[in-house]
Amino acid sequence: MEWIADPNAWIALATLTALEIVLGIDNIIFISILVGRLPEAQRNMGRRIGLLLAMGTRILLLASLSWIMRLTEPLFTVFAQEISGRDLILIFGGLFLLWKSVHEIHESLQQPGNESEHASRGVTASFTSVILQIAVIDIVFSLDSVITAVGLADDLGVMVTAILISVAVMMFAARAIGEFVDANPTIKMLALSFLVLVGVTLIAEGFDTHIPKGYVYFAMAFSVVVEMINIRLRRRMSIRLNKDLPE
């Protein structure tokens, strides 16, 4: 715990915590959408377990730093492209995220006459299957998070503390985000589109094509701001319409 007396360690902790929270936004969105398929009584438990799994995965990966470093060593070559263990995790994780996001979009775009059928199917979704899907994607998001942590901090205590603080913040915000996504279908569709974008980014990273995260997060933030304006505009129009209706 010598890092507590080091000012540089505190700067690294603050920077890393902020980055971990930003990197965890994708994870929260994915967990919120999956948990939305559970019965209302199980959703809070699903969110907590999902975020605890995310925290546990990150800490376990940090505890095995030597294994993490070996993941960057090439395993084989395909069309002059060296593929490492990290690349495989990113590629398959990105493909899984793409498949799941497109599947959810397809479910959301079903004919109106089938809404009750899809709703009942979502309510009876298996708690175990939802948690397993969260666990799979947690590994992918955690790998990116841990590599960022290793690059920014030298002390394991700093990294673990940043992860604990970021997960605590995500737990505090997860319910509000989940309920907001559930209450606004257009936000849910926007969130699924974000996950498609993240999936493509992960696959590109797996093939050593770097896409600056700043561009991705700026696109997400800009889209959210535009959608917030649209939601506010729709509410005003609805209020005005209700006022104009005869009593």
**Is 70 a member of any domain?**
yes
**Is 231 a member of any domain?**
no
**Is 132 a member of any domain?**
yes
**Is 148 a member of any domain?**
yes
Tell me 155's DSSP state. -
* Rg from Cα positions in the chain: 20
Question: For residues 25-39, b (16+ Cβ closer than 10 Å) or e, as one string?
Answer: bbbbbbbbbbbbbbe
The whole-number pLDDT of residue 26 equals 74
**Is 68 a member of any domain?**
yes
Q: Domain count of the chain?
A: 1
Report the first-to-last Cα separation within the chain, whole angstroms.
69
Per-residue pLDDT 10s for the chain (247 aa) are 565 666 666 777 777 777 777 767 777 888 888 887 788 888 888 888 888 888 888 778 777 766 666 677 777 887 777 888 878 888 888 888 888 888 878 877 774 444 444 444 444 567 888 888 888 877 777 776 676 666 566 666 777 788 788 888 888 887 787 777 777 778 778 878 888 888 888 888 888 888 877 777 788 788 888 888 888 888 888 777 776 666 5
CA angle 160, 166, 36 (to 5 degrees): 125
**Is 35 a member of any domain?**
yes
Cβ-Cβ contacts under 8 Å for 44 (sequence gap 6 or more): 175
**Is 232 a member of any domain?**
no
- Nearest-10 Cα torsion for 26, 31, 37, 42: -150
DSSP labels for 25-94?
A: HHHHHHHHHHHTTS-HHHHHHHHHHHHHHHHHHHHHHHHTHHHHHHTTSEEEEETTEEEEHHHHHHHHHH
Host domain of residue 150: 2-211
**Is 219 a member of any domain?**
no
